[in-house]
Each structure stands twice: as C-alpha cells, then as structure tokens.
Amino acid sequence: MRFRARLSLRTRIAVLAVSVALLAGQAGVAAQAPPPPPGARAYGMGGAFVAVAEGPAALHWNPATLGGTGLGLAFGGEDIQQIAELYALGQALRDWDPADESALDRFAGRPLHAPLSGLAAIGRGGLGIGIGMEATADANITSRTANLGGEERTVYEGSAAYRLLVPIRAGYGLELVDVPSVARLRAGASIAYYTGAAGTYWGEYDYNPPAVTYKRTVRELRASGYGVDVGLHARISPWVAVGAAAYDAVGQVTWSGTQTEYQADESGTEHPGQAKSIKEPDARHDQPSYRAGVAVTPPLLGLTVAADVDSDSLLHVGAEWKPLGLVAVRAGYIQPLDAGSAPNLEIADLRAGVGVALPAVALDAAVGVESDTWRVKDVMLEATLGF
C-alpha cells in the first residue's frame, strides 16, 4: 500500500514535469526572470533601441516610429540550454521505470528555468498590428531518502510552473513636425489586449511512519486586461535622434483562478480540499515602465551609437555598423546604474549580433553572454519582410 502511494506521487510529479517540458518546447512559459524583449536587432544593440526602432518592431519598442510597410517576425529565449534540459526531463519521466532509482538523479537539485519571447507584427504607413508572447517554464525535482515499507528508498518530489501572456496590439505613429534637414517630431500610441494562462503545481510526501502519504497543490490562473503604450521620437539634427516611451501607461492586467490542495491517504486515494479563489495583478504590467534614449549616426561611417535608460535603473549601450550597407554588425552592453543591484542582475549583460539586408528581407541574429562566466545565455532571431 505504501509502495503504491509512492508510485502515485511519482506518477503525478511525472505528469506535471512532462507538461512543463512540453510547454517549454512549444511556446515556452515561468516565474523567475522575465523573457528578453523581442527583436534580434534591438537585442544585439543591448536594448538601446527606443531612439532607433523602426518598422514592425516599433510596435513593441516605440509606437512613435511606426511607419513603412512590412512584416516582422522575432523569436528568442533566455537560458536556452535549459530548454533542452526541460525536454530531457520530460523524456526521462515519460520513459521512467520506478525500479530505477537513478533515473532522475541528474535532474535532482537542479532548478530549470526557460523564458521565451516572440513578436509577429505587420505595418503599413503609420499603422501597426501584431501579437506578442511572454512565456516562461520552470521545473524543480528534488530527492531524498525515506523508509518505505521498511526499505530505504530514494523518493522524488517536485514542482512545476508555467506562465504564458499574449498581448494583441495595435498602434499608430504620426508625424507632428517636419522641417527638412533640420528637425522632425513624431508621436505614437498603441493599445494591447492581454490574455494568458499560468499554472503552478507542487507535489510532496507526508512521511509519518508507518504511514506514507502525499499531497499536491494545483494553482491555475487565467489573465485578462489591457495596456496603453505611448511614445515620442525627435530627430533634432540630421545625425542625432532622441526617443522616449511609456509602457502600460494606462491599463491593468489581472490573473484570476483557483488553488486546490489534494491530500492522499495511504492507499493513494486523493481527497480534494476546497478550491481557494485567487485574484491578483500582474507584477510586470500592473504599473507603468519607462525608457528614454539617444542615437547618433555620424555621416559616411555607416555607424549608429545609441544609449537608453529604463525605469529598472539599467543603462543600455549599443552600436550598429553597416560597412557595406547590406551587412550589419552589432554590439551592446547593459550596466546597472545602481551598483547595489548588480549581484541580482539575471540577464546577459554582453550582447552581439549580425544582420543581412536583402532586397525583400532582412535577417538578424543575436546572442547574449554573461560577462562573469562567458556562457552564452540568450539567442534571438528576427526576420523582416518588406513589401
């Protein structure tokens, strides 16, 4: 009976972790660091992009610079090695033989976290319409030794979480002032409808000899809400531009759902408790965030140097060099303005990227590296079609 209770818990943990691994392989999804903003060109420049943004990507970065006609697709992820680990964990649990005590040892005590982001946007004139993705997935398997039926065995417990938020956005940018070869001022705004789903699952043993039972907790939420972004962009000389944007300047995103605890008796039969209603604001979109920056494009050099400051007190510095016009090389760096926050910086602070501009399509790729370990942490891809 006790052995069956142990298998019941293992089965449930397996189902939860497999679900998270599958979500990570499809659309990503989690609960720690948020995914990086979409766009390989912006990412390669360290996120110093609010005064540089153009084309469909402007729908996310600065709606004031919306203009032209094109289709943009961007996709990327952080801690990309852990996406493969989440998938491997799912495979191991799917093929797991409970008699093999070592099957999950490589995953025990190694929390996994994989954020992903994406954007698909189309622009025509000053109008932009698009759909984004903010997705994260987590899994954490732990192990310990317990006396089950008079035998010392390794037991596995765990938790899993996913979070998927999808903004469906429309924006418009228009020109307010245009003095040829002197100055130009643009303004823009976008509104987004947010929808999404999130879940957190816990499973653990309640070991009180001679009885061995387990309990699991299921928390499932749905998101809904809206947000309004506004932006300004000014070219104050032929070579200098400034930009500023307020994200979620107006709006609210709320998560609502239930949390239920299931307690199993020694036979493995589950007894659900009363579902608890949950309603809470989204931590990232419940209040406005801001970004302001400057971009300098010296004549003849094919070079753009940019710097942004955001409301998280991060300085973004980046450069883009187009020596031949068709090929671009990019580099960027992120530095906390508050030195005390540096140890908590969970992003790749060194960025690099390349791009190729063909007659009908521009292809861009970028990577992020942690400067202390020189580990490649993020990868971002982007394609922009002109028509």
Domain spans in the chain, listed from the N-terminal domain onward: 2-386
Q: Where residue 148 falls among pLDDT bands split at 50, 70, 90? A: low
Instruction: Quote the mean pLDDT of the chain.
Output: 82
Q: Residue type at 93?
A: L
Q: Where residue 12 falls among pLDDT bands split at 50, 70, 90? A: very low
What pLDDT, in 10s, does the model give residues 196-212?
999 988 877 666 656 66
Spatial CB neighbours of 281, under 8 Å, sequence gap ≥ 6: 252, 253, 254, 255
pLDDT at 71: 87
Residue 98 has pLDDT above 70, yes or no: no
pLDDT at 85: 77
Q: Residue type at 279?
A: K
Q: What are the φ/ψ torsions at residue 274 (nearest 5 degrees)?
A: -75, 135
Residue 25 has pLDDT above 50, yes or no: no
Question: CA–CA separation, 80 vs 62, rounded Å?
Answer: 27
The stretch 103-115 carries a mean pLDDT of 78
Q: CATH number of the domain at 2-386, please?
A: 2.40.160
Residue 178 has pLDDT above 50, yes or no: yes
Residue 30 has pLDDT above 50, yes or no: no
Longest dimension (CA), the chain: 86
Q: Where residue 173 falls among pLDDT bands split at 50, 70, 90? A: very high
pLDDT at 95: 66
Spatial CB neighbours of 221, under 8 Å, sequence gap ≥ 6: 197, 198, 199, 255, 256, 257, 278
Residue 21 has pLDDT above 80, yes or no: no
Question: CA–CA separation, 20 vs 176, rounded Å?
Answer: 48
pLDDT at 42: 94
